[in-house]
């Protein structure tokens, strides 16, 4: 599907649908006659066993033109986080966008989780990596050259043969 292609392109760090993926501290992209600083900055390091990145499908942004943004998680071998419906044990992962006034975030597109049966309990997990896509729509009132910071908060719990305390990670 198109969402799967976008997620894979964002995960691999290459352009999706002909658009460049923005990386941390990139040069200032141009936007409809002006410039708009990078929509994506560096990931805040996770406390343990998981690293999160905030990514964007586009290198430029135009008024009322939706684009895909994503939170990508990379997990240490043997560790996992949980899907929104975590199953019999664990804690749901959640993602909340904190956008500038007038910007809108669509629903998070959660990838299909893996099923894990352990000690008679069925859980729904992500191992290795996952990409959580959200369609972002800028307002009509974008001012070319203005600064924009997108922020997201992800709530997660990482487990292996033990679970660590649930954690919130802020990305911007």
**Per-residue model confidence as pLDDT tens digits over 100-118:** 999 999 999 999 999 999 8
pLDDT top residue among 147 and 154: 154
Which residues does 31 contact at the CB level (< 8 Å), separation at least 6?
Answer: 60, 61, 62, 142, 144, 145
- In this predicted model, what pLDDT tens digit does every residue of 64-77 receive, in sequence order? 999 999 999 999 99
User: Which is nearest to 95 in space by CA: 78, 107, 81?
Assistant: 107
Average pLDDT of the chain is 79
CA gap 163, 80 in Å, rounded: 9
- In this predicted model, what pLDDT tens digit does every residue of 13-64 receive, in sequence order? 433 322 222 223 222 333 334 434 334 333 444 347 999 999 989 877 889 9
Structure tokens at 79: 């560790």
pLDDT at 10: 53
Structure tokens at 4: 């799967």
pTM of the model: 0.74
- In this predicted model, what pLDDT tens digit does every residue of 122-141 receive, in sequence order? 999 999 999 999 999 999 99
**DSSP H/E element including 30:** strand 30-31
């Amino acid at each position: 599907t198109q969402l799967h292609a976008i997620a894979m392109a964002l995960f691999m760090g290459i352009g999706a649908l002909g658009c460049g993926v923005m990386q941390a501290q990139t040069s200032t992209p141009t936007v409809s006659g002006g410039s708009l600083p990078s929509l994506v900055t560096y990931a805040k390091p996770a406390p343990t066993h998981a690293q999160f990145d905030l990514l964007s499908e586009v290198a430029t942004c135009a008024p009322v033109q939706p684009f895909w943004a994503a939170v990508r998680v990379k997990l240490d071998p043997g560790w996992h986080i949980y899907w929104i419906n975590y199953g019999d044990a664990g804690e749901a992962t959640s993602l909340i966008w904190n956008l500038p006034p007038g910007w809108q975030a669509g629903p998070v597109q959660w990838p299909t989780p893996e099923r894990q049966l352990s000690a008679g309990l069925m859980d729904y997990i992500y191992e290795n990596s996952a990409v959580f896509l959200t369609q972002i729509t800028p307002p009509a009132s974008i001012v070319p050259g203005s600064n924009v910071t997108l922020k997201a908060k992800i709530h997660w719990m990482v487990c292996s043969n033990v679970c660590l305390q649930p954690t919130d990670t802020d990305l911007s």
